[in-house]
Amino acid sequence: MDKFIIDGGRSLKGTITISGSKNASLPILLSTLLTQEICTIHQVPVSRDINTTIRLLEYLGKKVERLGHSIKVSPRRPLKTYAPYDLVKQMRASVLVAGPLLARFKKVRVPLPGGCAIGLRPINIHLEGFKALGASVSYQKGDVILKANRLKGASIKLPFPSVGATENLLMSSVLIPGRTRIQNAAREPEIVDLADFLNRMGAKIRGAGKSVIHIVGVKELHGAWHAVIPDRIEVGTFLIACSATGGDLILEGTCPEHVGALLKKLKACGAVLDIFPNRIRIRMKSRPRTIGEIKTEVFPGFPTDLQAPWMTLMCFSRQGRCRIQENIFEKRFMHAAELARMGAQISVAPPPAGEAKSAPSRRSVGGGVDGTTVVVHGTGHLYGAPVMASDIRAGAALIVAGLAARGRTEISRVYHIDRGYEKIEEKLQGVGARIKRVKE
Ligand code: EPU
Task: Answer yes or no: do 83 and 150 share one domain.
Answer: yes
Q: Is the CB of 162 inside a 6 Å radius of any atom of ligand 1?
A: yes
Task: Answer yes or no: do 177 and 283 share one domain.
Answer: no
Query: Which parts of 288-333 fold into alpha helices (H)?
Result: 307-315
Q: What spacing in Å lies between the alpha carbon of 440 and ligand 1's midpoint?
A: 31
What is the per-residue pLDDT across 283-339, written as a single tens digit (0 to 9) for each? 999 999 999 899 999 999 999 999 999 999 999 998 789 999 999 998 899 999 999
Task: Answer yes or no: do 356 and 321 share one domain.
Answer: yes
Task: Answer yes or no: do 181 and 254 share one domain.
Answer: no
Task: Answer yes or no: do 220 and 279 share one domain.
Answer: no
The domain tally of the chain equals 2
Q: Which residues of 239-257 are buried (b: 16+ CB within 10 A; e: fewer)?
A: bbbbbbbbbbbbbebbbbe
- Kindly state the percentage of the chain with pLDDT values over 70: 95
DSSP assigned state of 288: P
Task: Answer yes or no: do 223 and 234 share one domain.
Answer: no
Task: Answer yes or no: do 217 and 324 share one domain.
Answer: no
The whole-model pTM stands at: 0.95
Mean pLDDT calculated for residue range 225-230:
98
Domain ends where: 227, 242, 267?
A: 227
What is the per-residue pLDDT across 416-439, written as a single tens digit (0 to 9) for each? 999 999 999 999 999 999 999 999
Tell me the CA distances in angstroms from 427 to 18, 178, 232, one per residue in order.
Answer: 9, 47, 16
**CATH code of the domain in which 249 resides:** 3.65.10.10
C-alpha to C-alpha distance for 83 and 51, rounded to whole angstroms: 15
CB 195 within 8 A of CB 174: no
Task: Answer yes or no: do 246 and 323 share one domain.
Answer: yes
- The pLDDT of residue 354: 54
Q: Are strands 272-276 and 225-227 parallel, antiparallel or unpaired?
A: unpaired
C-alpha to C-alpha distance for 418 and 414, rounded to whole angstroms: 6
Asked whether the CA dihedral 89, 93, 99, 100 is positive or negative, the reply is negative
Range of the domain at 185: 22-227
Domain ends where: 203, 227, 251?
A: 227
Residues with active-site annotation: 116
Residue with the nearest Cα to atom 7 of ligand 1?
A: 122
- The pLDDT of residue 349: 79
Task: Answer yes or no: do 402 and 254 share one domain.
Answer: yes
Hey, how many other C-beta atoms are within 10 angstroms of the C-beta on 380? 11
Task: Answer yes or no: do 279 and 191 share one domain.
Answer: no
Q: Taking the mean position of all CA atoms in its chain, how far away is CA 135?
A: 28
Task: Answer yes or no: do 237 and 223 share one domain.
Answer: no
Task: Answer yes or no: do 27 and 94 share one domain.
Answer: yes
Q: Is the CB of 99 inside a 6 Å radius of any atom of ligand 1?
A: no
Query: Cis bond leading into 300, ω under 30°?
Result: yes
- Kindly state the percentage of the chain with pLDDT values over 90: 90
Residue with the nearest Cα to atom 11 of ligand 1?
A: 121
| Crossing angle (nearest 10°) for helices 98-105 and 124-132 | 20
Q: Find the radius of gyration of the CA atoms of the chain.
A: 22
Domain ends where: 227, 253, 268?
A: 227
Non-local (6+) Cβ contacts of 87 within 8 A are: 52, 55, 56, 59, 94
Ligand 1 probe mutation, 30, 92, 160, most atoms within 8 A of CB: 160
